[in-house]
Structure 1
Amino acid sequence: MKRRLFSLVMIPFLLFSAQSAAAEEKKEGWHDETMYFIMTDRFMNGDRSNDEQTDNNDPSAYQGGDFKGIQDKLEYLQELGITSIVLSPVFENEAGAYHGYSITDYSKLNPQFGSEQELKSLVNSAHEKNMRVLVDFPATRASTENVWLDDADKSGWFTEVDSMQEPDWLGEMALVNTDNPAVQSALVESAVSLAEQTGIDGYFFSNASAAQPSFWTAFDEALPERHLIGEMTDATMADAAAYEEAGLDAVTSSWLQEPLREQFATIDRPSEDVMNLLQEEQATLNNAMQAIHLTDSSLTDRFTLDMANENMFPGARWRMALTYMYTVPGTPALFYGSEIAQNGESGPDAHGLMNFRTDQELVDYIKQIAALRQELPALRRGTYEPLLDENGMSVFKRQYEDETIVVAINNTGETQNVSIPASALDENKELRGLLNGDMSRAADGEFTIILDREEAEIYALAEKTGINYAFIAAMAAVWVVFIVFLYIVWKRGRKAAKS
């Protein structure tokens, strides 16, 4: 608690001292985003009138979450540092398909989530808060009860009508014939209609790599102002680059998901694989800064389950993983409930109701790193240069224009004392910690960084200071608040004793 109070007080002073371009206005580019994926049914119930299929005693049934509930929680998401939200599929689904992937009709919305007007109201409210809204659009597979299957004129619109899916809780689904131009036209028409009627900012095409890259070109041509993200499933980076060339604005980094989980589920794991993949990603993708980095999603086990299987405390594990994701190149994305370390195996077990009254420690930490990501252009747009990466101890440099940021993450079980050549930075400057207030100056041609186990620090490379009046003033303020607090407690104690 004391460390958090210290860092919250000190961040404005340190940012100012580091001349970090804190006053820079947020650009229009999508590489500045921090995303949050929401399973609508499991987030927040804001309208009881659409709970027709809701059964809170059955985790496989609808639980009542809706567009109104998300709208009611936009301030919570904004405070968490989220700038874009991605909604689970919104189209009409077969009975009980709370997740949204078993689409029965692409021309209708799921009444369990609300009306078109309510979705539009959510989008408008988000825009008032400078937040963007995207919708998951499953275009490669649909329900075995899809209305197109009953239309004799659409007999060639599916390649299979009862394909068992992975994960198995999705059950049997019909595989869309994405090579059929008529299918492509119908899906594009649906996407354009929803975007125009509701004002959403883009789409997340789940399972996008199941279609050829050229399939998505028509979406790009019809929706030039919308941001289009493609989920890459078992795709190589070269494959993903082809999807970008075909018209998708960004892709998910499927090649990073498992290595990230492996690295941060426990301590002392090799970290070089993720570092190498990040460098390859920068060299291969057309829009690497917009690539989506996720640890878990609606279709996976919860990342917290990996930590539990390693008998590790999830709070510390999540802090390490998220610090890494928020500071390396790319777009960090949270799946709802990650901020409360939600657990569970893939399926209903992993899709528990969001709990807004849980322990706030991890939530507060995410707010800190999200604020730094938004304040420091180098963390969103800068070059990436690893300085050290050995068995869980990672140090790397991000540089943008005249701003240099150094990130150090000690994902090991011991205190680490590492040296960084001054030639890699600037020996006439100093490293100032923005999370915990650490500081390092060059001596004998090296900067020394000391971090406790399972701790991280984000440093700004700044001009050396003499007497740090800002630091002294901030510390004095902390002690004044603390003394006043003790006085109030003492006075209340005296009154209680007299009574």
Structure 2
Amino acid sequence: MKQTLLTVMAVLSLLFPFSSKSYAVIKKVAPTFWWAGMKNPELQVLLYGDDISSSEVSISSKDIYLKEIVRQSNSNYLIIYLDLNEAKAQNFDIILKKGRKITKVPYELKERIRKGSDIEGFTASDVLYLIMPDRFSNGNPENDVVPGMLENKVDRNEQYARHGGDFKGISEHLDYISDLGVTAVWLNPTQENDMKEGSYHGYAITDYYQIDRRFGSNEEFLKLVNEAHDKGLKVVMDMIFNHCGSENYLFKDRPQDDWFNFRSNYVQTSFKTASVMDIHASDYEKAIATDGWFTQVMPDLNQRNRHVARYLIQSSIWWIEYAGINGIRQDTHPYADYDFMSTWCKEVLEEYPHFNIVGETWLNSNVLVSYWQKDSKLAAPKNSNLPTVMDFPLTDLMTKAFDEETTEWSGGLYRLYDYHTQDFVYANPMSLLTFLDNHDTSRFCKNEEDSKNITRYKQAITYLLTTRGIPQIYYGTEILMAADKSEGDGYLRRDFPGGWEGDEVNCFTREGRTELQNEAFDYTRKLLNFRKGNEAICKGTMKHFAIRNGIYVYERKYNDSSVVVFMNGTDENQTLNLAPYK
């Protein structure tokens, strides 16, 4: 009997040579894989498993150099830094050893299928179409509820619950988006948000390397990006480096307390990020604005910790290389550490020189917003390296300009003229993201009355699509969807009519839209397709004239191509003397 048992054990050890010696269960490896031939040859690999920090570490590869082993105060983490300078694509093992016990962690270094210079970012030639995936269309009801995830219900009658939109729903309506005439799709966060409530919006990430399974898988995201590219649509991915979700394993079982600001203790941000560039601000005001937490369930990441910084930078590069996305919109950009964000932008753009990043710079003046744009003279000698900033001050002006009578010196379109006279504060006015509304603001049509005012809408969308900058349209704006922020953020993010089986109205079709909605849709579509490839608008300079008789006139010009826009800011018909515009 003893001889037989020994023989069986010997056979098992041949079949499964590491099973009897393996001592550790590795729960997370981040990043999950990497690529050979990246410009930055250093790779951080974070390992998370039970009591692994005291392990001896080695690797099985001959052309990969183990530069550094970092142990954290939490024994469940090991961070290693590898030098891939001479490494070719390969599979190798990260070997953890405790005494005679060995755990082998397989790792893959893939062959690059993309060249960094091949990835085209979004520019002023593009128009972005912003989609909140949970609220656009439900193509696969089977992934509405995923067993084991904390928020396990769908309720379309509740504004803050999940409604079930997903990647398949977006994929099924790419023809609608492409036909409209936009050239890029910006998706609100798609990474895992395994939070107990409010997870529909996506801004509390619980795994930076995993797509939220209620939208689909990593592979389905890659498929969606490829399908969009096949239809001539670029894809912009929302990312959040300032904070994560409190259910993120990095916070629940954090490597060290200094991975999060205020040593992982909740301290509320003041939201007053103007303190960052305020020459009179106290150190306290600056610290509370940038290091304070967005909410108690969104712990504030400490990007001054070099391991946190490298983890975040690599996560963004991973998604660019994996999926071939064309841009990143960075949430709450001024709330994070300035120097880290500058380094991040620099590294991404060195790897992908034609890529673009837009930062959410929600500040109340053009001077404050301009501080955050790459090469801003107001920030010198510091440089954010952020190519595109969001023109929130212009959005605020547009919510008023088309409702007021314009005079020679105030009101209505004068607001827009006056604002553009100050564009010299921007390092690159053409690289400003301009928008009538988005997922955080009241819709341009706040109510039913606004939705009926088609002239107001036509003026606004004409201005948005012909002025300087990179326009963005929020899903549903083209069919006059209405919502006021005072009703709640969930109502700003209502479901697109027709995106769910059984919807009484289907606004994806002409037959499902009202006569007024079709007028708005047709006008938007005509203007978008006129704009597409129009060099005067997409590349040209802007020249404008002072308000005369309530009329605002501006020209977009590129070489011999010119587009001139005349806008009447009064309720009266006007006869123009064209001599001043000759």
Instruction: Identify whether the pair has TM-score above 0.5, normalized to the shorter chain.
Output: yes
Shift of 1:83: 0.4
Superposed CA offset, 1:309-352 (max 9, x none): 8x673432221111001111111111111111212233111111
Q: Is the 8 A contact 2:171 2:227 kept in 1?
A: yes
State the distance in 1 between where 2:533 and 2:207 align: 43
| Cα offset, 1:391, TM superposition | 7.6
Of 114, 117, 132, the residue aligned with 1:39 is 132
Q: Is residue 56 from structure 1 mapped to residue 181 from structure 2 by the alignment?
A: no
Identify the match of residue 263 of structure 1 among 376, 401, 408: 401
C-alpha distance 49-218 of structure 1, shift in aligned 2 (>3 A): farther
Cα offsets for 1:348-375 (capped at 9, x unmatched)? 1111101223332111100111122125
**Alpha-carbon distance, 1:212 to partner:** 4.1
| Percent pairwise identity | 27
Seen in structure 2, the aligned counterparts of structure 1 residues 212 and 420 have a Cα distance that, compared at 3 Å, is farther
- Which structure has the highest helix share of the two? 1
Residue 65 of structure 2 corresponds to none
* Distance (Å, rounded) in 1 between the aligned partners of 2:135 and 2:550: 34
Q: TM-score, normalised by structure 2?
A: 0.63
Residue matched to 1:278: 420
Report the counterpart of residue 153 of structure 1 in structure 2. Answer: 255
The CA deviation string for residues 123-157 of structure 1, in whole angstroms up to 9 with x for no partner, is 10111112100111011122233322223423112
1:230 to 355, 359, 367: 359
* Paired amino acid for 1:103: I
Q: Please, which runs of 5 or more residues in structure 2 have no aligned partner?
A: 1-119, 146-152, 272-293, 377-382, 498-506
Judge which range, 170-179 or 206-215, deviates more.
170-179
Return closer, same or farther for 1:152/1:132 CA change in 2, 3 Å cut-off. Answer: closer
What letter matches 2:492 in structure 1? Answer: A
Check the 8 A contact 1:270/1:390 in 2, yes or no.
no
Q: Tell me which residue corresponds to 2:205.
A: 103
The answer as to whether partners of 1:163 and 1:174 remain within 8 angstroms in 2 is no
Q: State the distance in 2 between where 1:391 and 1:36 align.
A: 35
Q: 2:483 aligns with which of 324, 330, 344?
A: 344
Please say if residues 331 and 360 of structure 2, whose CA atoms lie closer than 8 Å, have aligned partners that are also in contact: yes
The DSSP-based 3-state class of the residue aligned with 1:300 is: coil
> 2:469 pairs with 330, 341, 344, which one?
330
How far does residue 164 in structure 1 lie from its aligned partner after superposition?
7.3
Structure 1 residues 350 and 377: alpha-carbon distance in aligned structure 2, compared to 1, 3 A threshold: same
Q: Are the structure 2 counterparts of residues 57 and 279 from structure 1 closer, same or farther at C-alpha, using a change threshold of 3 Å?
A: same
Partner of 1:13: none
> Could you say which residue in structure 1 is the equivalent of 2:541?
383
Q: CA deviation at 1:418?
A: 2.3
Residues 292 and 333 in structure 1, CA contact (< 8 A), matched pair in contact too:
yes
Aligned residues: 395
Three-state SS of the structure 2 residue aligned to 1:292 is: strand
Structure 1 counterpart SS, 2:226? helix
In the superposition, relative to structure 1, how do residues 99 and 312 fare at CA in structure 2: closer, same or farther (>3 Å)? closer
CA contact (8 A) 1:241 1:284 kept: no
Task: Between the two structures, name the one with larger relative contact order (CA 8 Å, sep ≥ 6).
Answer: 1
Q: Where do 1:436-451 residues align within 5 Å? A: none
Matches of 2:322 and 2:483, distance apart in 1: 36
Question: Which amino acid letter does the alignment assign opposite residue 298 of structure 1?
Answer: H
Equivalences for 1:2-41 in 2 at 5 Å? 30-41=123-134
Distance in 2, Cα, partners of 1:191 & 1:391: 50
Deviation at 1:264, TM superposition (A): 2.0
Larger radius of gyration, structure 1 or 2?
Answer: 2
For 1:71 and 1:243, locate their aligned partners in 2 and report how far apart those are by CA, in whole Å: 38
2:247 aligned with 1:136, yes or no?
no
CA distance in 2 between partners of 1:69 and 1:280 (Å)? 42
Residues 112 and 266 of structure 1: is their aligned pair in 2 closer, same or farther, counting only changes over 3 Å?
A: farther
Task: Output the CA distance in 2 between the equivalents of 1:63 and 1:171.
Answer: 24
Shift of 1:99: 0.6
Describe how 1:202-221 pairs up with structure 2 within 5 A. Answer: 202-221=327-346
Give the aligned partner of residue 367 of structure 1: 525
Q: Give the counterpart letter for 2:222 in structure 1.
A: K
TM-score normalized by structure 1?
0.73
Are 2:405 and 2:569, in contact at CA under 8 Å, matched by a contact in 1? yes
Tell me, yes or no, if the aligned pair for 1:144 and 1:161 is still in contact at 8 Å: no
Aligned to 1:17: none
Contact 1:90-1:100 at 8 Å conserved across structures:
yes
Equivalent pair of 1:257/1:294 in contact (CA under 8 Å):
yes
**Structure 1, 244-253 or 80-89: larger mean CA deviation:** 244-253
